Amino acid sequence: MSRLEGPREFVAQLSVWEGCWRLYVVVLGSAERWPEFSFGRGLVVPSVQERSRALDRLGYVLADGARWEWSEDSEIPDDPGSPVLLIGSVRVCSRTEAAL
């Protein structure tokens, strides 16, 4: 990585899976399982501090100027009566690259 390029960025996402909030880092092109952290509890959205600690455990930090953004999706596509799924996302980079 050149100093002018800066650290490589990824997208971390937060969503509910099987009744628990989970955070994962999208690593496109990787044959390995994406880094993931489960908060192991129900429908309470993890706080910003909890999300930052989870990212740290996975080896990532927020990218410069990054803020959490939220979008919604449908559990059943094209069904307006379907339950809404909330998905949080934020730009992150490897903790080791960010320290350089």
List, for residues 5-38, the tens digit of each pLDDT value: 778 899 999 998 888 999 999 998 887 889 999 9
User: How does pLDDT run across 57-75, given as a tens digit for each residue?
Assistant: 999 999 999 999 999 988 8
pLDDT score of 50 more than 60 = yes
In the predicted model, is pLDDT for residue 40 greater than 70? yes
Q: Provide the pairing of β-strand 69-74 with 36-38.
A: unpaired
Indicate the SS3 state at residue 52.
Answer: helix
**Average pLDDT along the chain:** 88
pTM of the model: 0.82
Q: Reduced to 3 states, what is the DSSP secondary structure of residue 81?
A: coil
